[in-house]
Structure 1
Amino acid sequence: MQKEQCICDSCNTQLRKQVLGMNILYFCRNCGRMTSAEYV
């Protein structure tokens, strides 16, 4: 079973998962865009 990767909409770079308290965010190292886990 393959783990799903989150990819940035803007630049197609793999996102890094970041946990801030109760929130999970995904951060793109390439363009700096942050995406909330609710939208992934």
Structure 2
Amino acid sequence: MSRIEALPTHIKAQVLAEALPWLKQLQARSSSSNTAATR
């Protein structure tokens, strides 16, 4: 975490913009697999 906090703000914003769609996809995938596993 400290390494990320040391980065300049514009780089952090770019990384967040790129990571958010991927994170949402990952979250949706994990939640769907979790519901499938509980069934």
- Where on the TM-score scale, by shorter chain, does this alignment land: which range? under 0.3
Question: Quick check: which has more Rg, 1 or 2?
Answer: 2
TM-score normalized with structure 1 length: 0.18
Higher strand share: 1
Highest relative contact order (Cα 8 Å, sep 6+), 1 or 2? 1
Higher helix share: 2
